[in-house]
Structure 1
Amino acid sequence: MKNVISVAPMVDKTDRHFRNFVRMINKDVQLYTEMITAQAIINGDLEYLLGFEDIQHPIVLQIAATNPEEAFEAVKRAEDYNYDEINLNVGCPSDRVSGNMMGAYLMAFPELVGDIVTAIKKATKKPISIKHRIGIDGEKVLPDSFERTIIDKYEDMLNFVNVTEKAGVNKFIVHSRIAILAGLDPKQNREIPPLRHEEVYRLKKEKPNLHIEINGGIKTIEQIDEHLKHVDSVMLGREIYDNPMILTKFGKYYGNDINISRKEIIEKIIEYSKKLEEKGIRPHLFLMHTQGLFHGVRGSKFWKREINHPKANSETLIKLMENIEND
């Protein structure tokens, strides 16, 4: 099935528990892991970092890497996990990431990104995609030897895509803002640089052979429908996290109807929480991802207050369900 909607990779949000929560509501949207550095995969607990349930398919592993050798080793280790796609992060604006020559910093080095892609292709036969920005402001971060530290023209992005396409990438997820590598935190980088959706549309028009997915500032079904007139697919992030019931509106993109109530979702949340408790895992680590379930409707404050308590568990949820049924 063709991917139409993706849930963006979000640090500290799109973990294993949140992805399972999404699947309680929608079985079709494409999921992403959080961004995981190649070094973390090489040195870390693989099951903790990479493990997931089969229900999460289609799911993409997003990695951040600074050189081909580490990228190869990380993806090779991830081969034991049945991800559907490997995505290279070339869009994260965090100073911690760019300070280690990863993420959006790499947009200034398309040939190096091409080399990283080539190394990944040697480690896996899975499809490889890149998530990137339309450009970067690398002042105070990029080497002094650079003639231009602001690389934000459409032609710069096109060159980046052309170089990495030659390395074997045919899917690009483009955040329609530049990344400012110094002076803004990640949240500000999602809000302050202006959106330039038209440049993503232009990229698809000029590169019709590529799968182009658009990301950045997308919150409504109307916006999704408009973008799909120009690109192949759409990625949403915070809107899905903050308002997960929007997932029930995506059935039309996959030829089905999603008829599920909040009560039915809570029943699934209770069962999942019980399974966590049986494993000795605090349900709070999962429940904190569900706080948007009543977004924009009556009961939101009450739900958030109860499930955000560190000791919230399945019993808490059963009592909540009783209150909902008696209301």
Structure 2
Amino acid sequence: MYWSSIFILPKKVIKAIEHHFNHYLWQGKCTGKGVIKVAWEKVCLPKREGGLGLKRVVDWNRAAILKHIWSLFTQDGSLLFPKFEVGDRKKIFLWHDHWHPDGVLYLKYGLGIIYDAASKTDARVDSVLIDKQWHWRPARSEELVSIQSKLFSIKLREEDKALWSASSSGKFSCTATWNELRTKGNEVNWWNLIWFSLNIPRHSFIGWNHIFFDCSFSERIWRNVLALCLISDPQFCWEHLVEWGSMHLKGKGLRANLCKLAWWATVYYLWFQRNALLHAGQVKTEDQILNLIKKDVKTWLSSKVCFEDSILNRALCCNWGISSASLCSRSRST
């Protein structure tokens, strides 16, 4: 990826790179044939929008090149512009730069606004400033009245400063610029159900792509897991379960984290069992799969933060074989 931050990469090169990335994600190798389960465009959406949070090479390449262009215009000693004294107001064009709340005035109001103001096309902002006070000619059009009425919302600095509009700080940021350039998706309500702070990455990845409610074997596994989570009368429909989890499994407490860990461990081991059956003819019993799920959840939570000592949390710890040492009298999370 180093070269993508230095040069404008040809489309053919970008396509080849992303092809290798996609194959490695799904097959563990960069070449060869195989099933691509999710489109690369979907994979490269942020996690909040249903993707894996990867960045498309083409978008990152554009953002990185824009950083170099921005540096040419803003860094001290740039060959493109001489260095001016502080406060001389000669850097910003009155009609062609974005300094006013209305944006670039020439683009918004057209050439006529320059004549209405009795100005010049190459005028700078300092032409309407005297001793840091605005001094415009009397407005001769509604457009000029609108422009002048918004001047008092502008805070004058000691020195002209260029701001990068894609970043809230005004400073150039490759990440913020990439976010403006990328394809946007709608936020999904289940993203933090999978990508929570204590998630087991391999489980969450499988949970992102697979869910199995399509046979009596998996249904029995799910009933046992949800019972261990103290969830009664579950509806065995993925949409209903996701909706319920998105509403009730919020915060950083034990129940929310344990339930999410248990769900994605269940998905992972059902997926693992399916592959073992299809490709190796190996079969695990329900108890064996449940023990694997419980082991992962117990091991992961036992090494994490201390949770609130409550009746509900003690019952959950008892169900999953987690030591009560994981509970404390004062919780750092709710």
TM above 0.5: no
| Bigger radius of gyration among the two | 2
TM-score, normalised by the number of residues in structure 2: 0.22
Structure with greater strand percent = 1
Structure with greater helix percent = 2
